[in-house]
Amino acid sequence: DQQVKQNSPSLSVQEGRISILNCDYTNSMFDYFLWYKKYPAEGPTFLISISSIKDKNEDGRFTVFLNKSAKHLSLHIVPSQPGDSAVYFCAARGYGAGSYQLTFGKGTKLSVIP
């Protein structure tokens, strides 16, 4: 059973417009959420995170929104740039078996069209 879901495998956005990537989760015990960006044949790089006690975190062009009641978070990129084209993974942190672990979604491939 997938605990972290990214239901859109891909998204295309015009350069300069807003990109919105969505993520849903089922485990109410997740307490921290992260977004990673990944280029082909490279490791993911951390983008932005949010604690479950907050509903918004902003870092430059990137903003993450968390709606705990809906178990939903979203990543907004504005304005979108061609260099933002990558796969974006949503991850959620949970505690189990004596340690914290991250559970990843399947990713959304963002294409920013010049």
* Residue ranges binding another protein (CB under 8 A): 4, 6, 9, 32, 34, 36, 41-46, 49, 51, 89, 93, 97-102, 104-107
Minimum separation from the CB atom of position 7 to another protein (A): 13
d(CA 38, CA 26): 24
Of 20 and 102, CB closest to another protein: 102
Token pair listed for 57: 């975190």
Helix (H) or strand (E) holding 87, with range, is strand 86-96
In the complex with another protein, which residue's Cβ is closer, 15 or 58?
Answer: 58
By C-beta, is 42 or 69 nearer to another protein?
A: 42
Find where tokens 């061609």 sit.
82
Tokens of 108: 């959304």
Which is closer to another protein, CB of 13 or CB of 36? 36
- Among residues 45, 40, 46, the alpha carbon closest in space to that of 109 is found at 40
